[in-house]
Chain A
Amino acid sequence: MKFIKFTFALLSCAIITSCSTDDDNSSENLTGQTGNVVIKFDNGVGDQDFVFGTSYNKSNEESFKLNNLKYIISNIRFKDNEGNTFLYPIEKNVFIVSEDEGNNAGEILLTLEDVNAANYTEVTFGIGIDQERFSKGADGQGDFLAKAQDAGMMWSWASGYKFIRFDGAFSTNTITDEGLNLHMGSVGTSLDNYKETTLSLPNSILVRADKNPEIHIKADIMKVFDGVESVNFADGYDQVHVDAVETPIIATNVAAMFSVHHVHND
């Protein structure tokens, strides 16, 4: 397989080289060419980096600290400068972003291979598992079910995924360090908490066989509680599981916590 990729890359280079000799640079022919894209997820809290065990203040004189922080990202797709969309192959297009798998900078890297070469201006992704994927049962899931279970991202009492998982403790002005567990997901077909977010890139990423562009995405964890709508631990948001009122609010807040910090084209 490595050999194929190498051959492919080598020959692709040959094509590019021949293109540039035969054609004008401005009408670069990208047909059949692919490259990798790295998406970095970087969890933070407002203007601070997120660190396990550190206490962060939110509104209503409440604070929280976490020892577990994970979410599922799926259905990543890119829009190019001509309006075409490239959807990463659906079977591979589901990832668990786990803070404890971050590098020293606290970044979790997802590598998308064989993305069609183009100049992309926009990225869209979903948080969680959409109904279409879930309704297929095991079909097309490969080993994701086992992976999700190992990561603690599946319910134990029912079949289904936790889309986002925060575990830790919260404090209010009357309570100190009580359990905080936010395990939000869809429940069957009747409670659908899958949401997508679309982010414009500050400058295009140029996907080519010889380039590995990176998109650096910041996730502001504070927005899960103080986001589109502010919620309070004191009002029951210390334990969020399957409630039909609470979970859609959290899902909306989560979908709005992402922003593109910058991109790299080198």
Chain B
Amino acid sequence: MTFFEAKDVVKQYAGHKALNKVSISVPKGSIFGLLGPNGAGKTTLIRIINQITGPDAGEVFFNGQPLKPEDVKRIGYLPEERGLYKKMKVGEQAVYLAQLKGMSQKEATKKLKAWFDKFDILPWWDKKVEELSKGMAQKVQFIVTILHEPELLIFDEPFSGFDPINANLLKKEILELRDKGATIIFSTHNMGSVEEICDHIALINKSEKILDGPVEQIKKKYRTNTYEINYIGEFDKLDQVLKADFEIIDQAKGIEFNTLKIKLNNGSTSNELLEQLLPYLNIVSFREIIPNMNDIFIRVVKESKTI
């Protein structure tokens, strides 16, 4: 079931198009990766979802209904450019931001204290923001984003600036929220950082969506049928004994073992390859090279250019 949908969204700025007929569809309860290089239009799309800006053309649906101003309290947004009032007290500020999302002061205070406690920052409640470390400030920002229990959570470059410990904490919390039913959108140019937790993605490049779908399917679609074989021993006439269907892409010598990359063409199988290799080589490991999102992205961009 689709929770959020954008249809043919166009956003024009003077001199350039930020989004050109971009459509995405975010299933309910999924973790959706909005990927693409800097300046591709991701943040513009996110700002449209948050109604910070409006689309010039196209439609946006939230839970099946056209997006309404009241929906802001059902959305939690952690922008890439995020900060806090430096001179304000931490607790006061968190309550203020929660109130702007429509929570009552009492409710916000109660929930915030629980979250602060969970993240071990309760002693900082009455301190000024400028006294916090960067990691603590980020925890506060995260808490404020999710405090009002939004159905849709949007994180723009969520892990930039987080240290690995906090990044893991964040990931854990986000997964927990997903399990409780929230739908999550991640936007990042660092594709490696989110591909393991995303189940759907959309690739955006130069204002256009160039690829989208479930991660499994995409990976399947873009598998290259290439295998990496680590082996011990020497055999330099491999290209002569292998069938023409097996294309040697790379051959490298290592200290403990040597590495071979072979592409399977014309429907040949990995078993056939193994059979062919076994008489000559002492195999240590054998695995399929699965392309990561970066590779896929580069490939798709190249393909779209040649068209």
Q: Do A and B come from one complex?
A: no
Q: What residues of chain A have their CB less than 8 Å away from a CB belonging to chain B? A: none
